[in-house]
Every structure is written in structure tokens, then in C-alpha cells.
Amino acid sequence: MPTTAEMPAAEPAVDPSDMSAFPPFSLARLLRTVFNPSAGERVAILIDLKDPRGMKDFAFLNDPKLTIPRIAYDTFYEGLKNGVLDDLNLRGGEMFAYEITGGSNLDLPDLAVDSDGRELSLERDIYPNYDLILCISTYSATAPLTAFAKQYGFRGATLHGVNPIILASGLSVDYQEVSRKAEKLRLGVTRADAVEIDFGCQGETYTLRLELGGQEAQKSHGLCLGGPDVANLPAGEVYFVPTGAEGQFPMRYEDGTLGLMTVRAGRVVDAKLLQGNADIVEEYRKKLTSDPVTGELGELGFGTQVLPVSGRDIQDEKVFGTFHIATGRSDHLGGSLTPDRFASKLNATHDDILFSPSKTPEIAGQQVRMFRGGETQVLIENYLPAAYFLDLVTH
């Protein structure tokens, strides 16, 4: 197994209590950088609520637990209405609510409610009539909105799980620079044949091999300047849609339970309890049996940014030295797994599985290595970028 002779000094971590490394958040700067909008373009905001009728007269603001819609209102809606629309010569700025889906990248309901309490259709009244759509939601809507953007011609950004740390860091960065750095890393891994990951857990080492078939690596870099598309913000990763996978990897469930996943022919086919609640692992195993495509590995991604840990995967998976795999839906990434192939539409999610010191402290990311053109390069060791990755971004 190849190893680096000496661990390189990692890029410095950012203390979440010290946001001095980032400029203050500016909605105008974010929209200008991400979209470079043309004069007269119409912008809308989407949020998700358990009961979208709470959108009437902004009644949801009375519930202090609804922190994400509150940020959507205070920072984005109020920001647009109080100067940003005029500054960028944009129109609109309306906010609409749809019913919360309950899962990452599940198809969106069509019903939307505006601040007057009117019931509208996303496909009839919103998508065709706005040029820029910002979706600030609880669960990611990147996959369904990407499909609708291509159908109706709008551009958009999904910002699920946004919180104050993300506003002050991941949404305050220079996305031109994020794009340049992501491109350097993308070129350094593109057309890889395979990646192997060694995981340490409870004194054992498990290895997962992901076949990549020499495909072009892709990047999520925060810029949405061209035709119909959707940016997922905060951005900053390079990723592949695996063509196959074999091996095993430990997975941490939300409650801290640890399970061992067995992968064959590109799919998780079995789950075994390592520690914690056996019922949770058994429930997941039954899901794999009843709807096998739920276990399909649809993404391998590497973070590219130096950011503080936010407690939200949408930012924390973008931290340089972390990596993630995902199961389920992959059509929005260029893969072939579409919602119609699932036995249940409620299973048609795209679920990122993040490996990082903060998210999976019980699981060691011992080594990530890439195979390309007969050569092997170590990319990450112990959740730190190895010399090869660091050299890519410093030259």
C-alpha cells in the first residue's frame, strides 16, 4: 500500500468563533458572483414548511424553531426588497412555500403558497415566470430543481440547511477563487480509473474500491453563469459518479449507531451492526432488500475549501481533506439512477455520507488513493490532504 513518507502540513482549520478570515456576508455580491444577472431578470425565493399555509402573512416567523425559513426571510427576502433588487437592477423578490419533502432530493410537490395565502403551482406559476430561483430549504432540492431548470429555462441555487456560520463563511467566499481552486483539483483527479478508501473502525480496517472508468471529474464550484442550471451552495468539491464499487465501509447513522456496509456491483447490499441500535441497522437492511437501488453508490466527492465546521453537511463536506460518498439518485450529477427506478417514490433520495473528524469521529479515514494510468497517488490521509492534493492547489 503506498504511503506518504511524511505527513504534509494541512491548510489551517478555521475557528467557527473567528470569522475574520471572511468578508461580511453580502447578498448582492453573492448573486452578482454566482449568476452575473442581466438587468430585468426576475428572482424568487422558495422555502419549505410542514404546512405551506404558514406562508400567509409570513406567519411562520412566529415559530422560533423555524430557523432556516427565518434566515430566508431576514437575509434573502428582506435583503432583496431593501436594496439588492435595485442595486442589481432585478425584479420580483417574491417568496413562496412548498410542503417539506422529508428527504434529500425527493421530488418537490407542485403546490406553493404565497404571502397572500394564494395557492399556486410551481410548474405553472413559478418556474416559467422567474429567471433566478433561490431555494432555501430544510432538505436539499438540487436534483428536482436541476431537472425543472432544464425544462423551464431558469437558473437557480439551492441553499438547504443554511445557518449563521454558513452565512458568515461558506456564502461569503469569493466563488471565482473557489472555482479556480476546484478546477486545479479536478484536473488532478480527472480520468481516474479507480479510488480506494481505507477506513479504520473499532480496531479493524475496511476497504472500499470505487471504479471510475476514466471519466471526466466534475466540480461543484458555485458559479451558474451559463444556460439553465442550478448551483448547490455552499460549493467547493470535485466529484465522480462511480461506474462500480466493491468492498466494505463503516457508516454512522444519525443517532450515532455504527453499521458495516457491504458493497457489491456498485451497491450496498447488506448492513451489519457494529455498535448502537440494532433496530436502526435492521430497518436499513430491509430497505436495501425491498428497494435495492437505494443502496446504489451515486457519488464520490472531495471537499476543496478551507472552511469552519458548521454542523451542516452541505458546508462540512466542502472542507479540504474530507470526502463523501452518496447513495441513491444520481441523475442530477450525470448518473443514470432516476426516481422512476425506485420501488417507492419516498426512497428516491440522494443521501450524502460524509466522512470527517467532526461528523464521524469513530471512523478513521486512514487513506484515500487514486489509480490513474498505471500510477497511484495518495490524496488524503487521516482527513488531511496529502502532498499530491496540496501541490495541486499551490501551483
Place of cell 500510477: 375
CA 180 to chain centroid = 19
CA torsion angle 353 373 380 1 (round to 10): 110
- The hierarchical CATH code for the domain 27-168 is 3.40.50
Do 261 and 271 meet the contact criterion of CB atoms below 8 Å apart?
Answer: yes
Angle between helices 175-189 and 27-35 (to 10 degrees): 40
d(CA 145, CA 63): 27
What pLDDT does 4 receive? 32
What pLDDT does 17 receive? 57
Does the predicted model carry a pTM greater than 0.85? Answer: yes
Q: Which residues pair with 132 in a beta bridge?
A: 43, 155
Cell readout for 356 is: 470527517
What pLDDT does 14 receive? 62
Ordered by start, the domain boundaries in the chain are 27-168, 175-394
Do 317 and 301 meet the contact criterion of CB atoms below 8 Å apart?
Answer: yes
Residues of the chain with confidence (pLDDT) below 50: 1-12
What pLDDT does 314 receive? 94
Cell readout for 90 is: 432585478
